[in-house]
Structure 1
Amino acid sequence: MTDRLTCLLAALAVWCLGAPALAQGHEPPDADAFDSATNFLACRGNGFALCYYSGPGGDQPTQPGTSSPPLPCNPNLEDTAACTCYAVPSGMHEGEFVWNYVEIGSILNEQVRHDTMELCHEDGSNCLNMKNQRDICHVEDGVIAEAEECQMAPVCAALGNPAAGAPQTLYPELDSATLISTFSFIYSNVHEFGSTDCTEIENPTYAGCMTAPCREDENGLTTCECPVVDGPYQVGQAYANLQCDIGPHIWSAAYHEPSESED
């Protein structure tokens, strides 16, 4: 695994973990169990939303020579937040289909989460994931080995396939939900990856967006309905003067409690 990927995974750990389920009458998924890159199931060919950088209402610092539109997360009255996120409706970026990733413990649809864990195992190791796609499943660029542990996870099919005209089925009751929030490395050359601890602020609140439903907007953006959590969190970015309290907005973030080995 490259040094760059290792650094990105460290940032991913604090964002994807802890995303609670939407109010569907089910217990929240177990998302405080990040062990390795196998937890991030690899999907391709689906449209998706990217909420990793969402939060403040105004501009955020970006890398030299780049810029980003405002990506605010606005809390609603129903324990959710309307988060503006990047939209990738075709599943393509800069002319190529891109890999995007679902943290297996954070799938908000209970049945899809169950089916995915049954096939892929609870750690995601029996399906194509962020780790094995770069070693035992890698044949050459764009080619994946034909092996059981290299199969795409069931959740990938639930994200939809625009080329085949297949809509998302993670939220079949939501006709307006055309995209699902996942993670991708696109725009990592624009924003500042890292980790900012927000566990000590007063009355902390954040939005957990992994696999949240989204509707397409204009200008390459989308609005996702992300569950809101009251509790400590970490932001998956690090730049000078990053503020944890960005009221009336909130960060798209998560809480990952360090294990004893991380203390």
Structure 2
Amino acid sequence: MTHKQLIAVAALAAALLTFIGGVQADSGKITNPDNNHSYQRFDTLVTWEAARTACASLSGHLATSTSASENTWINTNMASGIAVWLGGTDAAKEGTWQWLTGEAWSYQNWASGEPNNAGGGENFLMMNFPGKTAGSWNDYGGPGNNSTKTVAYLCEWDSPYTCDKDCPAPFVKNEFWTTKYGPAAANIVLSKSNFLACSSPSYALCYYSGPPSSDPNVQSLPCTVSPTDPSVADCRCPVESGASYVDINSIRNTEAYIETIRTCGITGALCKNMENEKSGTALLTAPVCDYLQASADGTPMEPKSEVISTFSTVQISGYHLGQTDCATPATYAGCMTASCTYELDANNNKTGFAQCKCPLYTGPYQVGQNRASCDAGSGYVWSAAFAPNPVQLSAPTPKNK
């Protein structure tokens, strides 16, 4: 990321977080009896990205409309005569619309002549464009001159409204609110300040996972493309405890990500991190550190996870020091904050290892060992980091157990 881009991202984040702190509801929270979901409209005019982040900060998501009956209910009860953002986008691929929640795009209610991608950059879904049929959809907002398009927005919660405050937040996968290099878990190495210092009773260390080792003195940590889901790798990773690091750009839980950048800044510089932890100055601990266990205040980093993959140097003596930069784009596993389960032996005892589900990415990457072959071999992938400008991660070795 260029210096100008970093400044732009930081400015945008600051603006959005200022907005998040003062959102005002302009409708009550109402439950749809057909699906038992709750909805609330906010009439502050914001961009689609700001609306998405605001809903996530409230532990919800931009509303989806997946059937004619739901669309009618939303228009009648929540958005009658009011233009609102919904949680649809074709930003990933022009013309291929998808819901933020991952629900099937099986229903649509486009206004006449829509979507038309006016100006070559309308990537987001809104309902009730002025002058269009009530409840109909329009593509609106996006890059370039469209980036500042603002309307009201509608948040949705996938459960009835039963709690006023201090409610456990549901898991919302962080797929959009990241850097330009890719979604969360790609483990994007930009600077040492991105690596937030945490401490936890247990974490999975996938930094050295990949193809089988040719060194008999090095434990086997295979990382293979999943036979049941080609979008992830099944990686075997040792379980450690104590100090470790979390890449701020690779936090898979939206709630944890928003809390963390609000406290630590967009680069992580305001919290204890790999760059400043030895300065002797009292530093804030990043909020994401509270999400590294199976449950943190009722909210796990990801449902069904027993342990979370982070980074440390506790095993560095067993591997070649340094890194290997693989400039030719190829498939790799991004294991930062990936969801893992404990590996058990025949007697149902923990083996000291975890099995982690690491999303697969394509691009130039950096392997956590020197003199490693970038060719992992058939069926195998490296657990690696996307590194447009490779950074040497030479943190002091944390105390182990």
TM-score, length basis structure 2: 0.47
Aligned to 2:380: 249
Q: 1:40 to 1:199 in 2, by over 3 A?
A: same
Native 8 Å contact 1:59 1:68 kept in 2: yes
Q: Secondary structure at the match of 2:357?
A: strand
Is 1:238 paired with 2:370? yes
Report the CA distance between 1:168 and its aligned residue.
7.1
1:44 aligns to what?
Answer: 199
Pairs within 5 Å for 1:1-263: 24=173, 26-27=175-176, 29-30=178-179, 32=181, 34-56=189-211, 58-61=212-215, 67-76=217-226, 77-88=229-240, 91=241, 98-137=242-281, 145=282, 150-160=283-293, 169-171=300-302, 173-174=303-304, 177-200=305-328, 204-218=330-344, 219-239=351-371, 242-258=373-389
- Distance in structure 1 (CA, Å) of the matches to 2:315 and 2:254: 30
1:166 to 1:121, Cα distance in 2 relative to 1, 3 A:
closer
Structure 1 SS opposite 2:256: helix
Aligned residues: 205
Q: What amino acid maps onto 1:252 in structure 2?
A: S
Distance 1:44 1:26, change over 3 A: same
- CA distance 1:243–1:189, change in 2 (3 Å): same
User: Is contact 2:200-2:292 (8 Å) kept?
Assistant: no
* Runs of 4+ with >6 A deviation: 165-168
Q: Which amino acid aligns with 2:378?
A: G
Q: Provide the secondary structure at the position in 2 that maps to 1:44.
A: strand
Task: Name the TM-score, length of structure 1 as normaliser.
Answer: 0.70
* RMSD after superposition: 2.7
1:156 corresponds to which letter in structure 2? C
Between structure 1 and structure 2, the one with the greater Rg is: 2
- Structure 2: gaps of 5 or more residues: 1-101, 103-172, 182-187, 345-350, 391-401
- Whether the aligned pair in 2 keeps the contact of 1:192 and 1:238 (CA below 8 Å) is yes
Greater RCO (CA < 8 Å, at least 6 residues apart): 1
Q: In the TM superposition, what is the alpha-carbon distance from 1:50 to its structure 2 partner?
A: 0.2
Q: For 1:38, what is the secondary structure of its paired residue?
A: helix
Identity %: 35
Structure 1 unmatched ranges of 5 or more: 1-22, 92-97, 138-144
